[in-house]
Amino acid sequence: MSEKNFSENARKKCREIMTRNVKTANRETSLRDVAVLMREGDMGAVPVIENGKLVGIVTDRDIVVRAVAEGKDFSTVVGEVMTTEIFASKENDFVFEAIRLMGDKQVRRIPVINDESELVGIIAMADVALETEDEREIAETLEEISSGSAFWRKG
């Protein structure tokens, strides 16, 4: 990648590459309903919103590890199994900061919020791959995310 292209990509803001039309749930949404959302939207995570604010995220892994493996049924509400430790970027943050956050926290997607903590979008590794030409940076970030076990250390 040329120095000029790298500089242009480094200056991209999260709002420029994020997915804007994000399906969401609330704490009272059933696991069945959120699983249907995931299937229909071909996604592995659904942000959880309360009073317009991002309060958590429920992932396919949350459903498997914190619900199915614990014997909970499909009527269990999202609030019981969602991840509440949220790693988010602001819409005006640089994309490289979101990539670094994904690598540091070993997550594959980052919700994007505004200054009022309202969800405005989400960035997945696929979005980054489509928008950046620095294949080395993507490969290194994916390797960091895939090699760790941060999820399993969470309580």
* CATH code where residue 117 lies: 3.10.580.10
Q: Picking from 4-13, 68-77, 138-147, which range would have the lowest pLDDT averaged per residue?
A: 138-147
Structural domain includes residue 152: no
User: Residues near 131 by Cβ (< 8 Å), separated by ≥ 6?
Assistant: 9, 12, 16, 17, 95
Residue 127 pLDDT > 80, yes or no?
A: no
The two tokens of residue 12 are: 């991209």
Residue 51 pLDDT > 70, yes or no?
A: yes
Structural domain includes residue 31: yes
The range of the structural domain enclosing residue 129 comes to 11-147
Percent share of the chain, pLDDT over 70: 76
Distance CA(109)–CA(36), nearest Å, equals 19
Structural domain includes residue 98: yes
The two tokens of residue 78 are: 């999202």
Under the banding of pLDDT at 50, 70 and 90, the label for residue 154 is very low
Report the relative pairing of strands 53-59 and 45-50 from DSSP bridges: antiparallel
Structural domain includes residue 63: yes
Q: Which DSSP category does 68 fall into? A: G
Residue 141 confidence (pLDDT): 59
Amino acid at 33: D
Q: For 15-43, what is the mean pLDDT? A: 95
Q: What residue has token string 């670094």? A: 100
Structural domain includes residue 102: yes
DSSP-derived secondary structure for 69-126: GGT--TTSBGGGT-B-S---EETTSBHHHHHHHHHHHT-SEEEEE-TTSBEEEEEEHH
Q: Which of 68, 62, 76 is nearest to 29 (CA)?
A: 76
Structural domain includes residue 3: no
Structural domain includes residue 79: yes
- Structural domains counted in the chain: 1
CB 144 within 8 A of CB 106: yes
Q: For 22-47, what is the mean pLDDT? A: 96
Q: For 60-83, what is the mean pLDDT? A: 96
Residue 108 confidence (pLDDT): 87
